[in-house]
Structure 1
Amino acid sequence: MSLLIGLAAKARSGKDTVANLLLAQNPLLAAYALADPVKMGCEVLFGLSPAQAWTDDSLKEVPIALWQRSPRQCFQLLGTDWMRQRDPDHWLRRAQHVLEFGPGSPLARSIQDYSVWALALAAIYGMVPEHLDDERADHVDAFWGLSPRQAAEHLRNQVLAEYPDYEQRRQTLPLFLPSHQLPDMSQARCLLIKDIRYENEANFIREHGGEIWHIERPGNPVISQHSSEWGVERAPQDYLIRNDAGLEELASKVHDLWTGFTQRHGLKL
């Protein structure tokens, strides 16, 4: 397994900025966000636009009339309420799936030939969407321990429990592929997981010889009371980056911490 770094921070503390500073200097460092397949799944399930899911932070807090939720609340519903409650390690396993099997292949058919459930399985599990509609629908996936049909039924039951008229609502929006693609991490010597939000995720990183880097921005307002925004407790072996003095100072702190990481782990890029 690649060397691991996990960034732990509350919303708007500077996780993406720190990640970009690291990636700009290190070609063999790959970045992965546990939330990326969550957002991809929400693009499919809720018809979110690329701006709502990825590019416009202000839109993430704006309620969507059709769903009575903001995009951020949609992420929390799928990521935590529907998937983590079934398996707290689901999104860690999804990252492991990408490491082992790659980011997935292009669709074999036109998008009109797929159901919303098949495309959601591709985002959430990395399952081949065609398998839900052919003779492999009941074949148990060795990695996940359940078949495409079982995975789809679990997801559909969760969605319909929240929105009994989901299919009628969803038909009012066009069906598009997710606008984001997961990275190919096969050549990475170090993997940066940009969004550690829960204690089990942080423990996974530590138990596999990695490091947790906490980012704190003093005075950062609380965006949500959802459990995904509570933050991770800082363990004695963790590291802290205080984002309190501008971009240049932040870049210097990140550079120093990265230099120390390479020395601690004997990493030569």
Structure 2
Amino acid sequence: MKLIGIAGRANSGKDTLAGLILEHVTGQQRAFADPLRRAAMEIFGLTLEQMTDRDLKEKVIPYWGYSPRQVLQLLGTESIRDVFGPDTWVKRAALGLEELLAVDADERYDGDVVVFTDCRFAEEARWIRQSGGVVIHITRPGLAAVHGHVSEMPLPEALIDFVVVNDGSIDDLRHQVLHQVAGWLDQGEHYQVERRVA
């Protein structure tokens, strides 16, 4: 199994890009923030739609005084990442892959790739690359930056393997990404589970 991380501003097309990749290889779409979304839904009574809908993510919830995006940013970064360490979400993602690849799993995962659609921090990009994966940065010309939160800051260029520009049709985007990553998909390294020491 190979790892792909997708980085880019909010609303740049990260989920769309993951979907296009997964049209051509077997795999699974994940996010470093998946456990965070589940926690936010439980703690703040948010719905999955509020977590994923472009407009609802930005709408302030009067009861809490924050939008779902702000809840995720504050909970994920200031409340968890800054307290438990910058690699907290990487460690959680690795646990998820360990579970996915467990020898005794009922249905062993045999997909070609796992695509993480929210590669926001350098630690996440480094982990993907150190695991033999690649980081794809997607840009959308004319897209304004969303909020000045640290989680929306761009990754250092040295951690980006491929850049795709989302300035045309879905077919244009599909062609770009497949043209760029096809060779890597054929030859790239496979992720190996490192067992935790109890």
| TM-score tier (shorter) | 0.7 to 0.9
Structure 2 counterpart of 1:70, which letter? S
How many equivalent residue pairs? Answer: 184
Selected match of 1:58 from 37, 46, 55: 55
Q: Which residue among 167, 183, 189 is the counterpart of 1:260?
A: 183
Q: Does 1:190 align with 2:113?
A: yes
What are the superposed Cα offsets for residues 136-172 of structure 1, whole Å, 9 maximum, x if unpaired?
xxxxxxxxxxxxxxxxxxxxxxxxxxxxxxxxxxxxx
| Map of 1:33 onto structure 2 | 31
> What TM-score, normalized to structure 1?
0.64
Equivalent residue, structure 1, for 2:17: 18
Question: Do 2:28 and 2:114's aligned partners in 1 also have CA atoms closer than 8 Å?
Answer: yes
Q: 1:227 aligns with which of 150, 158, 165?
A: 150
Change (3 A) 1:209 1:102: closer
Distance change >3 Å, CA 236–CA 94, structure 1 → 2: closer
| CA positional deviation for 1:250 | 0.7
Distance 1:97-1:237 versus aligned 2 partners, 3 A rule: closer
**Matched ranges for 1:1-269 at <5 A:** 2-27=1-26, 29-54=27-52, 56-85=53-82, 86-102=84-100, 186-235=109-158, 238-265=161-188
Sort the Cα spacing of 1:3 and 1:102 in 2 relative to 1 into closer, same or farther, 3 A: closer
Deviating more after overlay: 256-265 vs 84-93: 256-265
Most deviating of 64-73 and 29-38: 29-38
Structure whose alpha-carbon radius of gyration is higher: 1
The TM-score, its normalising length taken from structure 2, stands at: 0.85
Q: Judging changes above 3 Å, is the alpha-carbon distance between structure 1 residues 46 and 207 closer, same or farther for their aligned structure 2 residues?
A: same
Q: Any conservation in 2 of the 1:13–1:217 contact (CA below 8 Å)? A: yes
| Residue deviations 1:206-259 (CA, integer Å, cap 9, x gap) | 222211111111111111100000121211761111111221111111221231
Structure-2 separation of matches of 1:221 and 1:24: 29
Question: Which sections of structure 1, spanning at least 5 residues, go unmatched?
Answer: 104-183
Q: CA deviation at 1:102?
A: 4.4
Structure 1 residues 266, 87: closer, same or farther in 2, change over 3 A? Answer: closer
TM-fit CA distance, 1:264: 3.5
Q: Deviations over 1:11-69 (max 9, x none)?
A: 11110110000112212x22211111111110001000222122x21011111111110
Does the 8 Å contact 1:196/1:202 carry over to 2?
yes
SS at match of 1:25: coil
Contact 1:99 1:186 in 2 (8 A): no
Between the aligned residues of both structures, percent identity stands at 36
SS of residue matched to 1:18: helix
